[in-house]
Structure 1
Amino acid sequence: MTDESPNKNTLDKEYAGNINSLQLEKQSSFSKYYSKENLQFEADVSPYSLPLQASEISNYYHFTQKIPLTKENRKLLYKNGFVVIENEVTKNQFKAEQVNETYRNLKVTDVPIFITSDSLLHLYHIQFDETLKRVEAEEFYDDLWKLDNSLLEASIDDYGKSIEDDASEEVTEAARRNVAYFAVALSLLEPKSKQIGQSGEDSAILFDPQDAKQYSIEVPAFVKDDVEAELALIEAQNEAMSQISKYIEDYSQYTPRGHYMSSEKLKNYFKAMMWHGRIGMLLQSDMITPEGSTAEDPEKEARIQTIQALLISDHFDGDKNLRDRWDRIYGVTAFYVGFSDDLGPYEYAKSLDTVFGSDREKISFDNENLTALITELERHESPKIYGGTGKIILAGSETDNKTLDTTKGFRFMGQRYIPDSYILQTLNPPALNIMDLLGSERAKEHMKNLGISENEEYKERHQSLANEFGAFDEDDWNKNLYWTQLHALKSLLVNYHEGYPTFMQTEAWEDKQLNAALASWTELRHDTILYAKQARFTGAYTEPPEEKPVQGYVEPVPEFYARMLALTKMAHKGLAEMEVLDEQSDKDFTTLEVTLEKLLEISVKELENKELTDEEYEFIRNFGQNIAPMLENIDEDAQSSVMVADVYTDQEGRVLEEGTGKLDLIVIAYKQPNGRIVLGAGPVMSYYEFWQPSGERLTDEEWGEMLENNPPGRPEWVESFKV
């Protein structure tokens, strides 16, 4: 990471005291990497009347010979000017999950191509996910191992010194617990025998023998039982009492999923980072109760956990190498996802500075000093999102604030605050609530139809969130890649006025864009699951003569392309400055930027009702080939549109799953500058939302099997544009 890169280290040293890392997010914003062109154009596309008639569409016969439409398909096409159908142009069902293959097949099928916003969202997801996956496997795994190993050794020294100095029982136990804590993390990272291949065997998936030698841990005998018990709980993946933290933990969260299933190294990294992200060292004893814990004295247990965190933070504060490794992992992942709303090493180190000054030889954890330290730490804000620590309660209940207060404490690499989790916690599912707060009037209407938004308490909570989100400025929305993508989605959730194509002025189009936004959000949650704190013509017909070749069309959403271009450039520049971008990723980002620049330019011309150049029409026709360079080094699984992410856990032991399936096809009637109405087609994403037992959190592979054998239904509101 370069000196210019924002990181929590420098910021907390300067500002920490009565504020926490979440409040620092604005001051440490990555928005300096964001720059968007201000667009000026006048939409002037001539309308057509709805419902359409087949006789009004100049290429209707040719198109429907290539892509047959059922009676139900035609009914929606005539009513709205577009319809979404099953993707039958891509006969190979696996290829039906890939954007560029769908465009190539449309070209071969010889129908006009419609370039969709869905396609660009999916292409960006691929770049986002692949760059994150690469840096995790090639750099962060090793960084995390060295970080944990150094702190394990320091904790062993602390334990030995506490015995030698005849320290208090609480200090000695805190040091011993830290040995167990870091031994668990290293054991999760350590390659297991079944994960190790022979030299050169499946090197992209398995560890090699050299890794087995390099990443090996000898668990100290005095914590071996605790470590083995904790590892067994993680392996069992149930809700259970932690042997180390002494409160209830949801071990189903440790199930590797998302892109972490692509290699054994990433599976282990996932588990270790989940351990660091979820396990807290609590300031208060409320979650550590005799009814819910093995701790005989909850107050004493809370003191031990606080001393644990202070011991770790003291080492952290005194060792620049430790800070640099932590900063690198935290800083880059904060750029992707954002900051944690939990306290961490810097906040606890600051409290040591405040109470003891710079002379760390004076540190002792007697009752007076520990009380002063806890008082200092209590000045920080509580988390904004309840991650499920201790006695699980139903999010959205009257005890929200107290629950958040009682989960305040230290997390070594805390999971990140994201606005959509905050919304779901405050209003509960479905995910339509998120899109409502992002500006979708259709989402608001669907919530009303579901009867969810009529409750008075809901209305109060919703208004509070609306006020909070309404106050965000440009920097707030573009402070990291996660927020900036949500900002791009907001541009799809608007009402299109006169001058835009007729099909875009329908309620069905608003639903189609709502579907695209939800599918893209699902991909985003899938990509960040480790860090984010929790859809045939048979009649006779006479074809009119075609005056000239029918050309393709770009979905005319220039503000969306401008925001996606700014997001892509932000990711490109930021990752390059942090020195975590390899040569191929650099090229892929450049290809995506050039593509978005072209789409922005074309979409403005379309809205201004200007004829495109031959070169621009050729760009649309060959879109599949144009985007191929950014995909040629990415395996087919990573290009798939089929993925799933669990985003919410309820009190009944269920998780809310958000899924995307195989690509559908949109058939759209658009007007060319010469006044002809023609049909074109392009891929769009499919979206699912359903409940699943928490002990059965789905991987992408399991979700794919469910889609094939027993798919859940899609939201009812998609029926406005898909049969």
Structure 2
Amino acid sequence: MNKKQFLAVAAFAGILIAAATASTAIAQQPAIAETIAAPITTPFGIYSPYQPPTFRAELGRKEPAITGEFTNVQTPDQLQWDQDFTQAERALLRRTNVLVRPEAAGTFAQLYAQADGVPAFITTDAVLHGLRVAINEAELRIQRHYLLPSLRDLMSRFSAAMAGQLDRARNTPAYEATRRTLAWAQTASRLLDPNFSPDPRVASMVQEQAEQIEQGSGPAQSPIIPGVRVNPSNFLPAQQQLDAESARYFRAVAWLSTIGIEIGPEADLLQVRMVMIASRTLEVLQESGSAASFNDLSDLLAFFRGRADHDVTPQMVGGALRGFYGSYGFGSAGTGTDAEVRQFAEYFAEQAPTQLQGRAYQFHFLPGPQSVHGALVAQGKLGEFGTALVAGLAGEENSFAGMFLRRAPEHWTQDVSWVTLYTLQSYVDGGEFGEGFPRFMRTDAYRTRLRLSALGGWSDFQHTSTLLPASTAVAARQAITTAQKASTERGYVELQPRTWGRIASMARYLRSGLVEGRFGDLLGTQLANKLRDIENTSAAMMRIAALRLADQPLTAAQQELVATMPERIAAYETFTDASLQPQGMPIAAGISVGGKNLRVANGHPLAMYVIVPNDDDAEQPLVLARGAIYSYFETTASAEQWVDAITGHDDAAPQAPEWVGGLVAPGANFAQDAAAFRTVGGTLRSVAPSYEPTLAERRNTPATAQVELESNVVRRGDGELWFTVQAPRMNGATIAVAVVDANGRVIYRSSEIRIENGQRFDMVPLENITNGNYFLRVIDSDNRTIGSGRFMVVR
């Protein structure tokens, strides 16, 4: 059924709901952020959550206490308690059943490879770090094979269109603005390619601006944009190991996304004209199909780098131009008198989305980056940041409350940083572990470990893997041998079903956007398989953790999957395309960029020993297992100073936060000799089977729906937003659709509509919806949100 047929045979009865009187459950937010229980469609992809199986914890109820000198704890023959553990370490293990300590290893895979017969304890940290490495490779691959060529082509087409306009603009008020807009666009082309030849009419401006960015020593007036100062330090790539092409790409994107051009009522008219001309030109190119990649380019950049919510975008200006000039006058936008241009600037301010009201109107061609970490660090203090961040994620009222509390589910999926925070939240907001949980999970030490891992995971996503030069360490690549693999055959899984589910959901979200979504396959077979394997194994670990907590046996296939995990972790930490990674030995440690007074950092992964119930031996009903977890530090060191500190080349070794005292024995040395590091490489032999919910899980999981929006950006003048609800399990059921603004207010709700043949094709009227960002939520008969999507309305 097409739109005309639909409108001819169906009436979509809508109910506008005043925000002040809305009482529907849709707008209700708990004190802490909601758990994402239904699929969310975003401009990037579809976040579809894995729901952990329900279970009753029983495993710990029959767990005995440790006797004597660990006489009832099963260990490999070669392990000697008095030689392999200090007195302080043994005391911690005896008291809490868990111990964390530094050991000589640069990666998670190396820690698992040198298990020396101790059964493996597969941690969420190890797999999450593997996902971090996969994301790093994905960014580099997408940049090389998609973003860079797309940006080069877009700016070439844009410059060609601008050059033609400049020919026609001679002797008009728009000539100088058109010339400077051409220079602005060709500066991006010149930054991408040092051999680019600018149009002779703007060549001197382009060359001066490019040299100012590439060679300048301090802020200086832009030769292209009047009144704008350009700081060369903002164009220095954060990753110093980037190759020359990547560094050029970084500078070009920074030029188009961080240098704002004003368009407000008080702005310089030359700048206003530049914005009008640039936006009109892009609109024309998109309509002709010549710049179809612009939205894809913008949305991919926004997902990986964040999107500043106060930026003026080309879509906003384009919509305002059409509203001001109409369809027939649109082609002349920006070429009229000064009075006309000033009138448009005032009109734009009136039409601007709510989140822009009262701000300086800064136009950015590409989305300006929004650093979630930068916003967090700005509110933190050295030595106190981590504690405050964990408290905020756990739902406490503190300096981070404004960012976390009552956050709508859709907000957690807007970019990779927020998805990461949502994943890490599961480490610290799960409440207390009761009597049925193993003893080590009921201790303060284990809760400290969860806090350490949440912060270490956040730090991990603020940097890429550090690369040590070959002269620093022996880069002897080794596979996991048969003897090493034997130690994993009785491996154990971290008993955190929620966290495993969040990691699986995050991997699925990335795969949805980068392999199966609107952008097409951006990863290639090997990297896509790695994401799929991380998703599938994490989902399997979610079920295994729930089964073990319920003291239920595992199948042979589940036991075999656990046994392969150290080998898989090695594969997760290995780039599938070695050409994307500069030369050197990658280690997991690293430090965040930016921030002179506070930086978060990872040292080397830490070994974690846990004593867990053992069903196989009545005389030794406990067993010692060993895994790998994140480390976390707060420092003011530079990247170079940090590497020196953690590899023993600095007199001052890293100091762990004071609050880890009950988890790590006193005097632990977190600096390691890099000569002991080995690169434990790996390749996936096969992809783990997809997760299939059991019949009981299906019965216990309410039906959900996926929302397919016709467009993520819609003009109010179009009159309606069309969408499709896909809900195969709800055929014949009635639903309603609501539009919710960014503050959680319901501004529109439909009457009841019916799912037919597993789907519903419908629309939302837009005439009473103002410009801004909104969520479209699908509501079932119990007022439960079963699916949602995000969209933006422009004039």
Match of 1:177 in 2: 180
Match of 2:502 in 1: 563
For 1:190, which of 182, 190, 193 is the aligned residue?
A: 193
**Partner-residue secondary structure (3-state), 1:518:** helix
| Residue 644 of structure 1, CA deviation | 2.8
Match of 1:17 in 2: none
Checking the alignment, whether the CA contact within 8 Å between 2:132 and 2:460 is kept in structure 1 is yes
Deviations 1:173-207 (A, max 9, x none): 4333323322322222115xxxxxxxxxxxxxxxx
Q: What amino acid is the match of 1:685? A: Y
Checking the alignment, whether the CA contact within 8 Å between 1:179 and 1:223 is kept in structure 2 is no
Q: How do residues 627-666 of structure 1 correspond to structure 2 at under 5 angstroms?
A: 627-630=569-572, 631=574, 633-635=576-578, 640-646=587-593, 648=595, 654=596, 656-666=598-608
1:140 and 2:129 aligned: no
For 1:123, which of 113, 117, 130 is the aligned residue?
A: 130
1:476 and 2:429 aligned: no
Checking the alignment, whether the CA contact within 8 Å between 1:44 and 1:608 is kept in structure 2 is yes
Return 5+ residue gaps in structure 2 as ranges.
1-39, 466-486, 669-795
Match of 1:368 in 2: 339
For 2:614, which of 672, 695, 706 is the aligned residue?
A: 672
Q: How do residues 413-428 of structure 1 correspond to structure 2 at under 5 angstroms?
A: 413-417=366-370, 419-425=372-378
Q: Aligned partners of 1:424, 1:373: CA distance in 2, in Å?
A: 39
Q: What amino acid is the match of 1:232? A: Q
Distance 1:236 1:668, change over 3 A: farther
Distance 1:102 1:721, change over 3 A: same
Checking the alignment, whether the CA contact within 8 Å between 1:550 and 1:678 is kept in structure 2 is no
| Residue 479 of structure 1, CA deviation | 4.4
**Partner-residue secondary structure (3-state), 2:56:** coil
Return 5+ residue gaps in structure 1 as ranges.
1-25, 89-95, 192-214, 286-298, 385-400, 445-452, 529-547, 649-653
**Partner-residue secondary structure (3-state), 2:593:** strand
Q: What amino acid is the match of 2:100? A: V
Deviations 1:555-575 (A, max 9, x none): 110111112112212221222
For 2:392, which of 413, 434, 437 is the aligned residue?
A: 437
1:309 and 2:290 aligned: no
Q: How do residues 403-552 of structure 1 correspond to structure 2 at under 5 angstroms?
A: 405-406=359-360, 408-417=361-370, 419-425=372-378, 430=385, 432-439=387-394, 462-463=400-401, 465=402, 469-494=404-429, 495-498=431-434, 499-526=436-463, 551-552=490-491
**Partner-residue secondary structure (3-state), 1:646:** coil
Q: What amino acid is the match of 1:683? A: A
Match of 1:86 in 2: 102
Distance 1:33 1:472, change over 3 A: same
Distance 1:507 1:174, change over 3 A: farther
Q: What amino acid is the match of 2:273? A: I
Q: Aligned partners of 1:76, 1:309: CA distance in 2, in Å?
A: 64
Checking the alignment, whether the CA contact within 8 Å between 1:314 and 1:349 is kept in structure 2 is yes
Deviations 1:489-537 (A, max 9, x none): 1111133321222222333322322222222222323369xxxxxxxxx
| Residue 229 of structure 1, CA deviation | 4.7
| Residue 284 of structure 1, CA deviation | 5.1
1:347 and 2:316 aligned: yes
Match of 1:15 in 2: none
Deviations 1:17-48 (A, max 9, x none): xxxxxxxxx98555634232352111122266
| Residue 222 of structure 1, CA deviation | 3.9
Greater shift, 486-495 or 217-226, is seen at 217-226
Match of 2:84 in 1: 68
Q: What's the TM-score, normalizing by structure 1?
A: 0.72
Match of 2:295 in 1: 327
Q: What amino acid is the match of 1:487? A: Y
Match of 2:659 in 1: 717
| Residue 266 of structure 1, CA deviation | 1.6
**Partner-residue secondary structure (3-state), 2:54:** coil
Distance 1:186 1:623, change over 3 A: same
**Which structure dedicates a bigger proportion of its chain to helix?**
1
Q: Aligned partners of 1:625, 1:434: CA distance in 2, in Å?
A: 33
Match of 2:512 in 1: 573
Distance 1:251 1:549, change over 3 A: closer
Q: Aligned partners of 1:377, 1:428: CA distance in 2, in Å?
A: 40
Checking the alignment, whether the CA contact within 8 Å between 2:187 and 2:209 is kept in structure 1 is no
Deviations 1:75-115 (A, max 9, x none): 33333322221123xxxxxxx33322322221xx1111111
Distance 1:53 1:125, change over 3 A: farther
| Residue 702 of structure 1, CA deviation | 7.1
Q: Aligned partners of 2:133, 2:557: CA distance in 1, in Å?
A: 27
**Partner-residue secondary structure (3-state), 2:463:** helix
| Residue 362 of structure 1, CA deviation | 4.1
Distance 1:500 1:440, change over 3 A: farther
**Partner-residue secondary structure (3-state), 1:670:** strand
Deviations 1:393-433 (A, max 9, x none): xxxxxxxx97xx23x31111122446554444566773544
Checking the alignment, whether the CA contact within 8 Å between 1:82 and 1:667 is kept in structure 2 is yes
Q: Aligned partners of 1:158, 1:433: CA distance in 2, in Å?
A: 54
Greater shift, 142-151 or 593-602, is seen at 593-602
Q: Aligned partners of 1:53, 1:316: CA distance in 2, in Å?
A: 76
Q: How do residues 229-308 of structure 1 correspond to structure 2 at under 5 angstroms?
A: 229-236=209-216, 238-245=218-225, 246-258=227-239, 261-283=241-263, 302-308=268-274
Match of 2:734 in 1: none
Distance 1:102 1:267, change over 3 A: same
Match of 2:473 in 1: none
Q: What amino acid is the match of 2:592? A: A
Greater shift, 226-235 or 578-587, is seen at 226-235
Q: What amino acid is the match of 1:380? A: A
Q: Aligned partners of 2:260, 2:438: CA distance in 1, in Å?
A: 53
Distance 1:433 1:353, change over 3 A: farther
For 1:58, which of 45, 62, 73 is the aligned residue?
A: 73
Q: Aligned partners of 1:682, 1:367: CA distance in 2, in Å?
A: 69
How many residues align? The count is 578
**Which structure dedicates a bigger proportion of its chain to strand?**
2
Checking the alignment, whether the CA contact within 8 Å between 2:305 and 2:415 is kept in structure 1 is yes
For 2:530, which of 563, 585, 588 is the aligned residue?
A: 588
1:358 and 2:327 aligned: yes
Distance 1:333 1:682, change over 3 A: same
Q: What amino acid is the match of 2:544? A: I
Match of 1:112 in 2: 119
| Residue 717 of structure 1, CA deviation | 2.5
**Partner-residue secondary structure (3-state), 2:433:** coil
Q: Aligned partners of 1:658, 1:242: CA distance in 2, in Å?
A: 34
Q: Aligned partners of 1:489, 1:329: CA distance in 2, in Å?
A: 28
Checking the alignment, whether the CA contact within 8 Å between 2:107 and 2:587 is kept in structure 1 is yes
Match of 1:554 in 2: 493
**Partner-residue secondary structure (3-state), 1:120:** helix
Q: What amino acid is the match of 1:274? A: A
**Partner-residue secondary structure (3-state), 1:343:** coil
Distance 1:49 1:33, change over 3 A: same
Q: What amino acid is the match of 1:36? A: Y
